[in-house]
Amino acid sequence: MSIDYSVYLAKERLPHLWCPGCGHGIILKNMLISMAEMEIPREKALLACGIGCSGRAGDYVNIHRFQGTHGRTLAYVTGIKMAHPELKIFCFMGDGDCSAIGIGHLIHAARRNVDVTAIVPNNLNYGMTGGQFSPLTPGESLTSTSRSGKAEPDMDLCRLAAEAGANYVARTTIYHVVEMKKRFIEATNNKGFSLVEVITPCPTYYGRYNQLGNAHKMIEWIKDKTVPLHKYEEMSVKNQEQHFWRGKLVEKHKPDLYTRYWQHERGMDHRA
Amino acid sequence: MMNKDNSIKFLQGNEACALGGITAGARFFAGYPISPASEIAELSSLLLPQRGGIYLQMEDEIASIAAVIGASLGGMKAFTATSGPGLSLMQENIGFAVMAEAPCVIINVQRFGPSTGVATRPGQADVMTTRWGTHGDHGIIVLAPTSVQECYDLTIEAFNLAESLRTPVILLTDATLAHLREKIVTRTDKELSIISRQKPDQVTEDYQPYRPGPDGVPVLPDFGDQNILRVTGLIHDHDGYSTPKPQTAGDLVHRLQQKIEGATSLMPAPRYFGSNDPEILIISFGISARSAREAVNRANDQGIKARLMQLPTIWPFPEEAVRYACYGASAVLVAEMNSGQICREVRACGIQREKVVGVNRADTAVITPGEILKAIKKTWFRWGFHPI
Ligand SMILES: Cc1ncc(C[n+]2csc(CCOP(=O)(O)OP(=O)(O)O)c2C)c(N)n1
Ligand code: SF4
């Protein structure tokens, strides 16, 4: 039997500051449940957060918790992981945090294959700062800085991470909660860099600007917009632009940074 | 007979910094190549793995200091080395290290700036950048060596201060010192007093990582310890949870400054050379202080009562010592390779404005003993002392 996930939760810190209908809490809960299923001891787990609404997740857990500066989470955890290879590190980074200011560190953490699980709650905009567009905001979306539609194209963070060398990459949505948990577990059990992007609602900004209705309606909207990866690949480019894919993009087993470092330097781990 | 004593070495300033760091117990270095600091990374990449340590070459200086902070919070003594452009990039995370109380050492090998400037030539214009480069009120420790021996000694000192006060410490050297070769005496960690951060002595369910000790320094567990560590750059309570409470914010920021300002007795004290009852006091630091020392020697030989006050600790600025040293002197010269950054600070100590004169050089060349001597003589005659 697995542990009760609430052992990881700082219950006295609740209620949380997220808006009603925000997806961040659901993703955090799923992360904690998957940790419980993997029976990770409380003191061997670290939640490393970026800056943003999603970054506040660290305030509601009582496992080791780290929150650095905006966008730099993966650089910090590269140091933490090399100092402490036995820690299970979960990173929680918003789409702005990870795909704009932090994109360089994502590419290099994936290339180095740092053994961490990166979770990206993608709410399609910058929540904390008032709903501006991020690199992952779909083209033409209305946001507080694109009142007549976002002129720039968006990008596929998952494909970028895969190309950069990540061992495991998947995307799912807030609607697919069972799948989300499964992905988190697969990602964590795969040693090396893993990324799971979760499409999630920000009803307060993205939903309001784009008239997507309340949180419930937004979740439906996300569900309707999302197709399995193989179906997506059969779509026309024009049709693809209107959809998100979900599924597993990569599952490899290359050695992680720590292993490679010591194999290379000494042929063995002298710290063991 | 050949000298078999391998504690005596012939090293570059940069090599002495790397060796000093490793002797102080550093087992983690993350950096990004930059002249004139690269040799520190190069030697670290060679020596650290042999000692069970980690060398990482990161994608930029922001990532370098971030990885250093991460390793430090994971329990390792960690350092990085850079120069002006890299230091500018590190500033946000240096403030984070202050806030998170992550001990680490940043070696800033000054080159001529601003911007790319002249990458291979020295300057001393990062004095204020090291003090005020990151935003928000904060305390910071900055040490400045004048010789290769001091590069070694002060790097060890920098680690001791970082560990005992749980704070980032900056070592301020320059392009000339970095590549200067001199004989130095090294020591083993057994021969030195090496300080390591305190660790919690018991495991409790509700351990408060940020509860300050009597010296204002909290005893943090490492990530991965039984005691849980919570770190954030947001204003936080003793548990490490964020809070915007004005009382907590005020107390925390006050403590972060006070733990540094209140610990100046731990920091290397000014060193004095030359006349004991000087008419002219020269204040200097780093490579400039070497020229100043020679200038003072020559001035003394010529019967001019001059004295050098060399500042190995430039931040916190040794206000009291400076005030005391300036007290008896008729004139104070501040010799530095910038447009007057330390000079401004000397004046801010309340020293009469007209009594303080800058001797500056800011053109990529090292200030010479001759230039400083000329300034000493000019002052000596202006103030009406006996011509030689
Ligand atoms: C260096 C820096 N630039 C800008 C900010 C302001 N800022 C805070 S949160 C945030 C973006 C948050 O958006 P996202 O990462 O998508 O997370 P969300 O709030 O949507 O969960 C920004 C730009 C900052 N804290 N630091
Ligand atoms: S602004 Fe958006 S992302 Fe932030 S808490 Fe509210 S719903 Fe969530």
Residues of B in contact with A65 (CB under 8 A): 228-232, 240
pLDDT band per the 50, 70, 90 thresholds, residue B4? low
DSSP per position, B178-195: HH-EEEEE---TTTS---
Q: What is the mean pLDDT of residues A62-70?
A: 97
In the sheet where B313-315 sits, what is the strand order?
B54-57, B26-31, B77-82, B104-110, B168-174, B141-143, B313-315
CA angle A16, B137, B217 (to 5 degrees): 75
Q: Map residue A95 onto helix, strand or coil.
A: helix
In chain A, the residue whose alpha carbon lies closest to the alpha carbon of B230 is A65
Sign of CA dihedral B208, B213, B218, B219: negative
* H/E run at residue B77: strand B77-82
Q: What is the pLDDT of residues A233-262, one digit of tens each?
A: 999 999 999 999 999 999 999 999 999 999
Q: What is the mean pLDDT of residues B253-259?
A: 98
Chain B contact for A263, CB < 8 A? no
Mutation probe of ligand 1 site: the residue of A126, A174, A208 with most atoms within 8 A of C-beta: A126
pLDDT band per the 50, 70, 90 thresholds, residue B1? very low
Q: What is the mean pLDDT of residues A67-77?
A: 98
Can you say how many angstroms the Cα of residue B94 is from the centroid of all Cα atoms in its chain?
A: 13
Instruction: Tell me if A92 sits within 8 A of A54, measured CB to CB.
Output: yes
Q: What is the pLDDT of residues B36-52, one digit of tens each?
A: 999 999 999 999 999 99
Q: Which of A108, A232, A248 is nearest to A171 (CA)?
A: A248
What pLDDT, on the 0 to 100 scale, is given for residue B302?
A: 96
Q: What's at B209, amino acid-wise? A: P
Q: What is the mean pLDDT of residues A187-203?
A: 98
For the CA of A21, the nearest atom of ligand 2: 7
Answer yes or no: is pLDDT of B330 > 80. yes
Spell out the residues 6+ positions from residue A41 whose beta carbon is closer than 8 angstroms to its own: none
pLDDT band per the 50, 70, 90 thresholds, residue B6? confident
How many domains are contained in chain A? 1
Return d(Cα B214, Cα B195) in angstroms, integer: 18
pLDDT band per the 50, 70, 90 thresholds, residue B64? very high
pLDDT band per the 50, 70, 90 thresholds, residue A163? very high
Percent of chain B past pLDDT 90, that is, above it, reads 95
pLDDT band per the 50, 70, 90 thresholds, residue B384? low
Answer yes or no: is pLDDT of A1 > 70. no
Query: Does residue A134 have its Cβ closer than 6 Å to ligand 1?
Result: yes
Percent of chain B past pLDDT 70, that is, above it, reads 97
Q: What's at B22, amino acid-wise? A: I
| C-alpha A202 – ligand 2 centre gap (Å) | 5
Answer yes or no: is pLDDT of B309 > 90. yes
pLDDT band per the 50, 70, 90 thresholds, residue A272? very low
Query: Does residue A57 have its Cβ closer than 6 Å to ligand 2?
Result: no
Return d(Cα A194, Cα A118) in angstroms, integer: 6
Q: What is the mean pLDDT of residues B160-168?
A: 98
Domain limits for position A26: 5-271
Q: What is the pLDDT of residues B275-301, one digit of tens each?
A: 999 999 999 999 999 999 999 999 999
Exposure letters B118-146 (e unless 16+ CB within 10 A, then b)? eeebbbbbbbebbbebbeeebbbbbbbbb
Residues of A in contact with B66 (CB under 8 A): 68-69, 72, 75-76, 78-79, 105
Strands (E), chain A: 45-49, 64-67, 88-92, 117-122, 168-173, 194-199, 226-228, 244-251
Return d(Cα A256, Cα A190) in angstroms, integer: 10
* H/E run at residue B272: strand B271-274
What pLDDT, on the 0 to 100 scale, is given for residue B3?
A: 54
Q: What is the mean pLDDT of residues B115-133?
A: 97
Residues of B in contact with A64 (CB under 8 A): 223-224, 228-230
Chain A contact for B94, CB < 8 A? no
Domain CATH code at residue A21: 3.40.50.970
Q: Map residue A136 onto helix, strand or coil.
A: coil
Nearest by CB to residue A266, choosing from B49, B71, B229, is B49
CA-nearest residue, atom 3 of ligand 2: A127
What pLDDT, on the 0 to 100 scale, is given for residue B5?
A: 75
pLDDT band per the 50, 70, 90 thresholds, residue B386? low
Strand partners, B71: none
Domains in chain B, please, with CATH? 1-268 (3.40.50.970), 271-382 (3.40.50.920)
What pLDDT, on the 0 to 100 scale, is given for residue A268?
A: 47
Residues of B in contact with A75 (CB under 8 A): 58-59, 62-64, 66-67, 70
Instruction: Tell me if B139 sits within 8 A of B258, measured CB to CB.
Output: yes
Answer yes or no: is pLDDT of A266 > 80. no
Answer yes or no: is pLDDT of A270 > 60. no
Instruction: Tell me if B338 sits within 8 A of B127, measured CB to CB.
Output: yes
Answer yes or no: is pLDDT of B176 > 60. yes
* H/E run at residue B85: helix B84-100
Query: Across the A/B interface, how many CB contacts are shorter than 8 Å?
Result: 132
Neighbours of B255 (CB within 10 A): 18
Percent of chain A past pLDDT 70, that is, above it, reads 97
Q: What's at B276, amino acid-wise? A: N
Answer yes or no: is pLDDT of B223 > 60. yes
Q: What is the mean pLDDT of residues B77-102?
A: 98
* H/E run at residue B55: strand B54-57
CB contact (8 A) between residue A83 and residue B70: yes
What pLDDT, on the 0 to 100 scale, is given for residue B385?
A: 61
Answer yes or no: is pLDDT of B387 > 90. no
Answer yes or no: is pLDDT of B160 > 50. yes
DSSP per position, A176-240: -HHHHHHHHHHHHHSSS-EEEEEE---IIIIIHHTT--SHHHHHHHHHHHEEEHHHHHHS-HHHH
Return d(Cα B97, Cα B99) in angstroms, integer: 5
Residue A35, CA distances (Å) to A47, A81, A99 in order: 11, 18, 25
CB contact (8 A) between residue B222 and residue A84: yes
